[in-house]
Structure 1
């Protein structure tokens, strides 16, 4: 498990955490920020905090949930700073999913990516954590600093919107 807030983690601990959790942390950051470079920056910051012992993991019940919460907070901080600076440079949306060699699957992947982009940020975050990270509503609530019922509601509303947005794709099939 994670070290105390007073001393940093060893290189071996950081390597283990990276090996076990970096993909999930990256996907979560990407769901929030939609910018690969920004996600890499916040992951670097998170691992630096862990290395320096600036993370407070004493109350973390689940290591991955704690790390996803660190990513969540770093992403929110970054978005707030960007809003204050009014830095709204247009960027191509980052891809949450890998490309598929099958043209039909690739078309669906692109439509799903577009549909996720249309969800409000709060709903998109919960949907990605629930479906792709397989987190429980209690874990999502801890990661996002919201009540479990709010997490469940955001998930339900997000799924309803995704169904509506993807209905034409289903009808084509």
Structure 2
């Protein structure tokens, strides 16, 4: 009788473990493309962006595995982890602009990567079609990279990740009004920069 109870308990634990694994797989599949896209903005090349994205999920699995398996909304946390990973990885390195070749590699990427034993999708080009179009303008990238860090991060989250201002406020831990103000200042700066670039082209 005791043996049957233990066997039933083992089967129940196994089922729970399988369900938890499926939840984790689903979570990674859902968010890996977005996090990789975010890391591309901060990385010197595609390989570094992939390393940062995988390290982000390794940290999430290591420290927040239970929360993920319970189905909690960890989107803001995920971006904060990614931000910290990017800062740590390139704090002592000179980070240059991401080349268009690296971006093309990103949008046509095939295959798969792994994070702590969980499958990470590689075929994400179709989901990043609009992103490729936006990122194709090198001058815009240069202007964005010239923004102050506190403004640049908000612009990246808003336009490369399509997050709402309220979601961004939660990620960067700032009041909504502050986020709105910084985004407005950044957009004004970008507008002036683009106008200056256009004027220079017209003079040529």
Bin for the TM-score computed over the shorter chain: 0.5 to 0.7
Equivalent-residue separation in structure 1 for 2:170 and 2:146 (angstroms): 25
Question: Is the helix fraction higher in 1 or 2?
Answer: 2
Deviations 1:76-110, CA, capped at 9 Å, x for gaps: 3334xx33xxx43x7553448658xxxxx799712
Equivalence map 1:158-173=2 (5 Å): 158-168=186-196
Residue 25 of structure 1 aligns with which residue? 35
**What is the DSSP-based 3-state SS (H/G/I as helix, E as strand, rest coil) of the residue aligned with 1:55?**
helix
TM score, norm. by length of structure 2: 0.59
Q: Which residue of 2 aligns with 1:55?
A: 64
Structure 2 spans left out of the alignment, 5+ residues = 1-16, 108-132
CA drift of 1:37 comes to: 2.9
Matched with 1:93 is 98
Q: Which residue of 2 aligns with 1:13?
A: 23
Choose 1 or 2 for highest CA Rg.
2
Q: How many angstroms does 1:162 deviate by?
A: 0.8
What is aligned with 1:125? 153
Could you say if the C-alpha distance between residues 61 and 42 of structure 1 is closer, same or farther in structure 2, counting changes exceeding 3 Å? same
Listed one character per residue, the Cα deviations across residues 100-124 of structure 1 (whole Å, up to 9, x for unaligned) are xxxxx79971221222222222212
Backbone CA RMSD of aligned residues: 3.5
- When the two structures are superposed, what TM-score results if normalisation uses the length of structure 1? 0.68
Shift in CA distance, 119/34, structure 1 to aligned 2, threshold 3 Å = farther
Give the Cα separation in 2 of the matches to 1:127 and 1:107: 13
Q: Which residue number corresponds to residue 102 of structure 1?
A: none
Structure of higher RCO (CA pairs closer than 8 Å, 6+ residues apart)? 1
